A and B are shown apart, each in its own frame.
Chain A
């Protein structure tokens, strides 16, 4: 589904991703862990198509297409979804109207019929129940004045509405209390299927207790320095990232 080859990306003159290789297949859940500043959000942003980040070399294919050729919206239409680490507040823009436009755009590009107001509201209500989203939240402006937890839940709610092929969750667990974490994890597990894939970016192992990854990768200084199964996450939790630092330093000596 997703194939990243030797990806290098920078912002300004600062190189942040220094050669990433990653393969994600349908039905898989990957976790990307790593200390703050290692480049996890940068990778997520490059995948979603944020223009500030310049890809200097390497390639990304997504469902057979060169992802780097596509605009952010084309990526969304093709089934890529990024749940932002810091969802931006958009005052004055109605959450419901925004979501209806988003859902119908995506449906149109997938050859599905557009939803009329009634069917959209029905779909929205179903997914709201799943994510335990209150009506008052969708009546408000997009993310405006939402608490940290509400923003994160709203991201997964949008993911549920858009039904992506590949979802990247950037630190969706941070700032969530245990109840909210369970709601989010439940939602994600409910959406998981054999023909979609999920990349969970986190630096805690906590979320992985609820969404069990098939693979765990450690991102450090812009590279994936270690990959393994879910046991790697427990090891990281126990030993911290110092251990990785030492290992990487050891390699380079």
Chain B
């Protein structure tokens, strides 16, 4: 890959972090205040429960911090607040959130012959009647409302009020029809758990706030996938929050992909807490949507943790995808390995911000981070910023980012053997993508994404 040749828009190492607390009185917040009132009324007698106290606390904190505006350091390249405001000048009626298509056709989201535990969410709400689990896998799923008496669940929900991201707070404030998935001690779930999020964007603009809590007990193992789809072409706003607690010596693989319509706005907060000797691997793929922001936060809460983060984004038209990742090494003898790769065409914009913290006690940490980008047009932009902060002294850390165009030497080689320019370009870009897609261990989902990638590459 050429290193930043020509007049491409490359911004590496943008400004240093600043603490910003912005009292924001924008109309979006006002809209949500009205909306929250309606939501409370719809809860009837439930509004005095412990859960609702958590929601109120989260909402209160959101009112204090406001939504991030352009001056907010963490959102300076991603005008999420402004876009939501623009798209939802008239907020959808709250009741409509529960109506709409309750029996959407999920066949397009479900690869044929795929053997998996299927959990379906429609417009952010879990649909038990559409979900289907494999009995031998003995999955323990509870709807949030039923799990709330569980001390562990209530504790984690309560802790999420301290999240600093406004959208995470918003999700907690409106949390309702989410689920809790528990993987028991020593339990190994053989088949993947495939969560399908489908949003009906055919009638009115949608706001969806799926909430998922996954608790892995000691020595447990599973592969979880969360895929986001939509039907219809109206603007949808998805504000997802998934929390994963990875117990001691547990092994978790987590695949996440966005395939919504080209008007979709989405914020994903994924918070992962790893205990001693656990392994967490994630693959995040974004191929569709209009404005996407992923906050993937990993906290290593014990020694000997292993974290692998892979990401791929293929952006066309005016798409904008922003990946913010944090790996917080707090204990000794851990490692993290992060590779994010992106292809940007047309007027699309990519943002990558990868924070790695190595705390004072985290001796012998081994951390690696790489962000590689290919820009296919003069109007495409990537803002990339690796950010390593190291307090321990005995560590191995490296990071790098490359931004370039397609390698013309490689193109010429292939053309001289009879491949046309488009074939040669597609093969190279596809290889670039496969480097990440090959980490998806569910073959049907990998090939579903792969086909989509090929289809898109044939049109860039």
Contact = CB atoms under 8 A, between A and B. Distances in A.
A96 to B, nearest CB: 12
B134 to A, nearest CB: 34
A226 interface: no
B414 A92 contact: no
Interface string A85-106: 0011011110001100111011
Interface stretch (B48-56, B57-65, B423-431): B423-431
A90 B419 contact: no
Interface in A36-86: 48-51, 71-73, 75-77, 81-82, 84
Contact of A98 (B409, B427, B435): B427
A162 interface: yes
Contacts of B446: none
Contacts of A141: 431
A172 interface: no
A202 interface: no
User: Which applies to chain B's interface (DSSP): helix, strand, loop or mixed?
Assistant: helix
B437 to A, nearest CB: 11
Contacts of A73: 415-416, 418-421
Nearest to A84: B413
Nearest to A91: B431
B412 interface: yes
Interface string A138-158: 000100000000000000001
Interface residues of A, number: 30
A62 to B, nearest CB: 14
A90 B418 contact: no
A56 to B, nearest CB: 20
Contacts of B416: 48-49, 72-73, 75-76, 81-82, 84
Which among A51, A72, A84, A103 has the greatest number of chain B C-beta atoms within 10 A? A72
A62 B95 CA distance: 74
A183 to B, nearest CB: 21
Nearest to B427: A93
B420 A50 contact: no
Contacts of A162: 417-418
Interface residues of B, number: 20
A87 B413 contact: yes
A50 B410 CA distance: 12
B374 to A, nearest CB: 13
A93 B418 contact: no
A143 to B, nearest CB: 8
Contacts of A92: 431-432, 434-435
B360 to A, nearest CB: 38
A49 B418 CA distance: 12
B434 A71 contact: no
Interface string B394-419: 00000000000001011011111111
Interface string A5-32: 0000000000000000000000000000
B155 to A, nearest CB: 45
B418 A106 contact: yes
Contacts of B423: 101, 105
Interface string B269-312: 00000000000000000000000000000000000000000000
B420 A105 contact: yes
Given A92-B431, A92-B434, A92-B435, A102 B419 contact: yes
Contacts of A48: 412, 416
Which among B415, B417, B427, B432 has the greatest number of chain A C-beta atoms within 10 A? B417
Contacts of A82: 416
Given A93-B427, A93-B428, A98-B427, A105 B419 contact: yes
A123 to B, nearest CB: 15
Nearest to A71: B415
Interface string B365-400: 000000000000000000000000000000000000
A88 B421 CA distance: 17
B25 to A, nearest CB: 50
A88 B409 contact: yes
Interface string B420-460: 11010001100110110000000000000000000000000
A92 B413 CA distance: 15
A76 B413 contact: no
Given A88-B409, A92-B435, A105-B420, A72 B427 contact: no
B420 A90 contact: no
Contacts of A106: 418
Interface string A102-131: 110110010000000000000000000000
B414 A98 contact: yes
Contacts of B428: 90, 93
Nearest to B420: A73
Contacts of A81: 416-417
B418 A76 contact: yes
Contacts of A98: 414, 417, 419, 427
Contacts of B435: 92
A48 to B, nearest CB: 5
A225 B246 CA distance: 74
A88 B431 contact: no
A162 B416 CA distance: 11
Contact of B418 (A51, A77, A88, A91): A77
Nearest to A143: B413
B430 to A, nearest CB: 8
Contacts of B409: 88
B431 A90 contact: yes
A51 B431 CA distance: 24
Nearest to B413: A88
Interface of B: 407, 409-410, 412-421, 423, 427-428, 431-432, 434-435
12 contacts: A73-B420, A73-B421, A87-B413, A88-B409, A90-B413, A91-B431, A101-B419, A102-B414, A102-B417, A102-B418, A105-B423, A141-B431
Given A90-B413, A101-B427, 12 more contacts: A49-B416, A72-B412, A73-B419, A73-B420, A81-B416, A88-B410, A92-B432, A93-B431, A98-B417, A98-B419, A101-B423, A105-B419
The 6 closest A-B pairs by CB, nearest first: A92-B431, A76-B418, A72-B415, A102-B417, A105-B418, A106-B418
